[in-house]
Structure 1
Amino acid sequence: MQRVRPPSKQTLAVLDALARRPGEWRYGLELARLTGLKSGSLYPILIRCAERGLVEAEWLAPTEVGRPPRHAYRILAAGLAALRSSATTGGASSFKEQLA
């Protein structure tokens, strides 16, 4: 039986950053800049969110010759719903207040 618990503040920050432009792919480096999270926290969150169907992850072809493919992420409908649900329970709104 899988334990269900509310998303952490850091997870909500990642979902919020992705929700700002929900249809667009975002790279980890951009998400790190937007959330202030270090890679050791950010990438495990992105992996868990992808496993839970909150975000989609995909390798994108390089935009410049000689560059490697990059992993990109975008929020799914379930991720938007989780973010909205946390906002109604006070989780996301209290986190956004801390950032302001």
Structure 2
Amino acid sequence: MSGFRMTKQTELVLRELLQNPTRAHYGLAIGQAVGLQSGTIQPILARLERAGILESFWEDPDEHAASIPPRPRRRYYRFTTDGAEQARVTLALAMAKRRRPVESGIASTPVTD
């Protein structure tokens, strides 16, 4: 997973997918669940797929044809064999990184008059 960029939005997506890690989810539903627009969610899902965390597949044409009212065909995403575990580890590392105190040359003692 080297080179994988973890953003707050990506964290939201991973957390949502981990709520039910064995189920396939479609992009619009993921976006609605985490409050992200399609233009934000689709690149995140594509990055997670390139990283090997997710795999995708298109909805069965018969299922799509039977949808009432008619709607666009759905692309579903699910964790790869070890994707859920990769997601958990990635989230844990991101949390640990945020908890680390920022090291700088600025004194941490309060200034008094």
TM-score, length of structure 2 as denominator length: 0.66
Paired-residue identity, %: 30
Larger relative contact order (CA 8 Å, sep ≥ 6): 1
Distance in 2 (alpha carbons) for counterparts of 1:54 and 1:36: 21
Return the letter of the residue paired with 2:77.
Answer: Y
Aligned partner of 1:42 in structure 2 is: 41
Tell me how many residue pairs correspond in the alignment: 89
Return the letter of the residue paired with 1:72.
Answer: Y
Aligned partner of 2:26 in structure 1 is: 27
Distance in 1 (alpha carbons) for counterparts of 2:8 and 2:26: 20
Aligned partner of 1:94 in structure 2 is: none
Distance in 2 (alpha carbons) for counterparts of 1:5 and 1:66: 38
Per mean C-alpha deviation after superposition, the further-off stretch among 67-76 and 10-19 is 67-76
Larger radius of gyration: 2
Q: Would the alpha carbon gap of residues 90 and 43 (structure 1) be closer, same or farther in structure 2, given more than 3 Å must change?
A: same
Match of 2:95 among 87, 90, 93: 87
Offset at residue 87 of structure 1 (A): 3.1
Per mean C-alpha deviation after superposition, the further-off stretch among 17-26 and 74-83 is 74-83
- Greater fraction of residues in helix: 1
Q: Would the alpha carbon gap of residues 10 and 70 (structure 1) be closer, same or farther in structure 2, given more than 3 Å must change?
A: same
